[in-house]
Amino acid sequence: MALQTPVQIATNGLLLDESAKQDPATRAWNSSVALFYKTGGIPGRVRSSGPETCYIGVSFHHLKTTHRQLMYSSFAQAFSSEGEGFALRGDAVPRNPGDDRNPHLKEARANTLAQRVIAQYGERTGQYPARVVMHKTARFDDEEHRGCGSALSQIPVVEFVNLSSTDFRIVHRGA
SS3 173: coil
Pairing status of strand 157-162 against strand 131-136? parallel
Give the chain's residues under pLDDT 70.
1-4, 19-20, 42-50, 62-77, 81-83, 92-101, 169-172, 174-175
Task: Return the pLDDT at 130.
Answer: 92
Task: Return the pLDDT at 126.
Answer: 87
Task: Return the pLDDT at 147.
Answer: 95
pTM: 0.63
Helices 142-151, 107-125: axis angle to 10 degrees equals 30
Q: Name the DSSP letter for residue 98.
A: G
Pairing status of strand 131-136 against strand 53-64? parallel
Q: Could you give the angle at the alpha carbon of 149 between the alpha carbons of 148 and 153, nearest 5°?
A: 120
Task: Return the pLDDT at 56.
Answer: 87
Task: Return the pLDDT at 172.
Answer: 65
Task: Return the pLDDT at 63.
Answer: 64
Looking at the chain, which runs of residues are DSSP E strands?
53-64, 69-80, 85-94, 131-136, 157-162
- The DSSP bridge partners found for residue 60 are 73
Task: Return the pLDDT at 111.
Answer: 92
Q: Is the separation of the CB atoms in 57 and 77 below 8 Å?
A: yes
Residue 17: phi and psi, rounded to 5, are -60, -35
Amino acid 80 reads S
